[in-house]
Amino acid sequence: MTIRITAMIMTIFAATFLGGYVQKAQAIEPITKTDVVKTVYKVENLVRIADNVVIMFDSSGSMGEPFGDSGMTKLQAAKRLLKQRTDAFPGEYSELNVGLYSYTPSANTTANAANAEIYKMQPFNKAGFHAAVDLLPEEASGPTLMVSGMRRLAKVMDTLSGRTVVFLFTDGSHSDAGATESPLDLAKQIAQKHDVDFKIVSTTDIKTNLEMMEVVASINEASTVTPLEWVINRPEVFTGAVFALEENYVITATTRDKVVGFKLDHIEFGFDKSDIDIDFAMELDTVVEILNQNPESYIVLAGHTDNKGAEEYNLTLSHQRVEAVASYLVTEFNIDSSRIAAFWYGEAAPVASNDTEEGRQQNRRVVGFIAGVN
């Protein structure tokens, strides 16, 4: 079924930026920013898709490994991540409950060792949350009590209502001596009882551990596994789990009047369809040219549906749509899959009324943002 680019927008970008590049399509909008700001989102303009965020943090010995060439350990990088990403939130955000828990006993933290409750579930308060992050240890040590952590998570979930996103930092191993249940079994029990998305942040490249994480993520359509490097280096991976990445997306600049990214205006799909019409290869050619001429850049894709059909089915359909675009970039243009971040939101973030066919057509879409442009 045909997809189409709906909006014809302004000039792609200056020829000097890409060495004489000539405008070939009208589907890409340059994103510029004249003010130097810290964050990457205007949260007040985004659609919140979660009621609660629970962060299960790992500070065990494996988190003491170096994080690339940053000069930090994985633990230190993860702590910085929690502050940087939540820095985009308002100072006080009563519409979102947030909690931070550790499942790694350590003598280096002043948090309550009995329940590892670093920041009790409560309406988000930036200053309070950042102070809680500081309570996490600076040095990695101790065992990974994943089973105990999942049991604690189950108790926390019983106090919550609405949709919950669980960020689970893990290397895929656990050290619960004598445990009769596995982390996977406990995760399944939680998912059967609650509306929960597991966003697993992987801190390892061990194949068998990654396979276990993928099994946990397969519990439901919305759960995923993402490397720690992606979560840290690509802000959208964290924020996109809590807010729908849509037309109000903003990329910040480091200098004034500089092109810092590009927006691919949304691609629309036919009813109950996820296949791509080859006629629109020219628009995707433009995307590929920008990616190829900016080696450090990457594209963020977000899939959506109208509200016809069951919610879970629409979530799957939006996943299929965004994967169709991602797969097309990989197979037809040889874009490395590591440069594509994909999200899918089902019917959660409409841009038009679902009461009319025209509005529903606009809502059956995939949008894209090219970030990391230098």
Sequential pLDDT tens for the chain (374 residues): 433 333 222 222 333 333 333 344 445 665 554 444 333 444 445 678 999 999 999 998 889 999 989 999 999 999 999 998 888 777 888 999 999 999 886 544 444 444 488 999 999 999 999 999 999 998 998 888 888 889 999 999 999 999 999 999 998 887 776 678 888 899 999 999 999 999 999 998 888 888 888 988 899 998 999 999 998 888 788 888 898 876 554 443 334 345 556 677 678 888 999 988 766 666 777 788 888 888 888 988 989 999 999 999 999 999 999 999 999 899 988 999 989 989 999 999 898 999 999 999 999 988 888 888 76
Dist CA 185 CA 191 (whole Å): 10
Dist CA 84 CA 236 (whole Å): 12
Domain ranges of the chain: 4-40+244-371, 50-66+93-228
Dist CA 95 CA 74 (whole Å): 31
C-alpha distances out from residue 200 to 61, 172, 272, 298, 316, Å: 18, 10, 29, 21, 19
Pinpoint the alpha helices (H) of 13-125: 74-86
Pinpoint the alpha helices (H) of 194-349: 207-217, 228-233, 235-239, 281-293, 311-333
Dist CA 137 CA 151 (whole Å): 22
| Residue 90 three-state SS | coil
Domain 50-66+93-228: which CATH class?
alpha beta
Distance of CA 349 to the CA centre of its chain: 15
Q: Which fold has domain 4-40+244-371?
A: 60s Ribosomal Protein L30; Chain: A; (3.30.1330)
Contacts for 295 with CB less than 8 Å, ≥ 6 apart: none
Dist CA 79 CA 72 (whole Å): 10
Q: Provide the token pair at 207.
A: 């194949």
Q: Provide the token pair at 274.
A: 């996820």
Dist CA 200 CA 202 (whole Å): 6
Dist CA 248 CA 360 (whole Å): 19
Dist CA 6 CA 15 (whole Å): 25
So what's the pLDDT on residue 198? Answer: 95
Q: Provide the token pair at 201.
A: 């942040």
Dist CA 329 CA 162 (whole Å): 35
**CB distance 347 to 363 below 8 Å:** yes
Dist CA 116 CA 144 (whole Å): 13
Dist CA 255 CA 243 (whole Å): 26
So what's the pLDDT on residue 240? Answer: 86
Contacts for 161 with CB less than 8 Å, ≥ 6 apart: 51
- C-alpha radius of gyration, the chain, whole number: 21
Beta-ladder partners of 32: 259
